[in-house]
Amino acid sequence: MNICRFIINAPVMDRPLVPYDPIKVFKAHKSPAIEEVMPIDKPLNCNIKSNATYTLAVEADGVYQCSAMMRYARNSQAQSSCSLSFNGTFSMSLPVNGTDGKSVTVEGLQVRLEKGFYQLDINFVKPGSEIQQISFTKASS
């Protein structure tokens, strides 16, 4: 059997072709898990250096661009990152090089969120970095 015949007979050839969508889609909870809820359209001033969880309220379905104000009090050769998860599902990593303690803006990825409530988990990979603020801006269609 040659390679072409093998590929044509492979089970993967029976799957329908669908375009790749790089924007992750997350399903909302209908009610918040805790009482303190932050609106997603306002910047989240967190000033955290360790793992944290927040509840976000989304008022309108859409695609949201994530960005964060971070700092890492090491020289520029050092690297750190933190990961963001919505409702327990990994969403993105926010990498940062050493900033000598100065604040920098780190661009995250876009996420598709429906109206409802989300638990945002922030997990630091290495100690030392700090997230001062996270914001989600609704992307234009």
Q: Is residue 67 part of a domain?
A: yes
Query: Is 41 part of any domain?
Result: yes
Residues of the domain holding 50: 23-138
- Tens-digit pLDDT string for the chain (141 aa): 689 889 888 998 888 888 888 899 999 999 887 788 999 999 999 999 999 999 999 999 999 999 999 999 899 899 999 999 999 999 999 999 999 989 999 999 999 999 999 999 999 988 889 999 999 999 875
CATH number for the domain spanning 106: value is 2.60.120.260
Is residue 78, in this structure, part of any structural domain at all? Answer: yes
Is 133 within a domain? yes
Cα–Cα separations (whole angstroms), residue 69 to 16, 48, 95, 116, 128: 41, 11, 11, 25, 15
Question: Which tens digits make up the pLDDT trace of 107-141?
Answer: 999 999 999 999 999 999 888 899 999 999 998 75
Residue 141 CB partners (closer than 8 Å, separation 6+): 62, 63
3 located within any domain: no
Q: How many domains does the chain have?
A: 1
Can you tell me which residue has the tokens 């790749």?
A: 20
- 81 inside domain: yes
